[in-house]
Amino acid sequence: MNELERALRRGRDTEEGARRASERFLQQAERDGLLDVAYATLDSPVGLLLVAATKRGLVQIAYDDGRLPERALERLAERISPRVLERPARLDDVRRQLDDYFEGRRTGFELPLDWRLTRGFNQRVLRRTAQIPFGAVSTYMEVAAAAGSPRGARAAGNALGANPIPIVVPCHRVLHSGGGLGGYGGGLGRKQFLLRLEGALGSKPRSTPRG
């Protein structure tokens, strides 16, 4: 073994030692109750996603806007707890269900949700939106009415645009009354992709969330 090979081996050993030490630290932090929010980053057909969960359930899915994970983690630290750690194993079920959805093997999610990043009317809008089934669409006006504000279509649109759990809470299934796409927090390209995936693009509104 020449000097270069020995140096490369030392580097690999040092890197592996640091990885193991980091994992031991994270495991100890979890045992000591110092982990309130676990997060992971996932590749998907709609780009990089940051997913985060608490003991209550899935709390955030964030699209890559060029500032992942910084912006999403800042929000979690401010709104939920500063004890946020990267623990991909805690998000394995979320990852599997998202993979199944994107590959056409799943039409609904079976995940507990933590709604703490929303409140009031916004949360009511999102809870109603969560009831829109795969392959169906609704309108801003219908969702607003189901949330208790028949004239609140614009406010409902704002709530949907701020949805902290897109895809799982399917705000992409809400369109303008005339059939136009409307807006989307992740960008219209992603909204179109998700609607095409579900076979709903171009369909007329045919599902009103239950009141």
The residues carrying an active-site annotation are 171
What is the DSSP code (8-state) at residue 204?
A: P
Strands 138-139 and 49-53: unpaired
Length of the chain: 211
Compute the C-alpha angle 116/122/127, nearest 5°: 75
The answer to whether the CB of 12 falls within 8 A of the CB of 20 is no
- Phi/psi of residue 60, each to 5°? -155, 140
Residue 100, CA distances (Å) to 32, 44, 50, 195 in order: 34, 11, 17, 16
The encoded tokens of residue 194 equal 């998700």
DSSP 11-42: HHHHHHHHHHHHHHHHHHHHHTT--SEEEEEE
Collect all residues with Cβ–Cβ distance below 8 Å to 91 and sequence separation of at least 6: 38, 39, 40, 42, 51, 52, 53
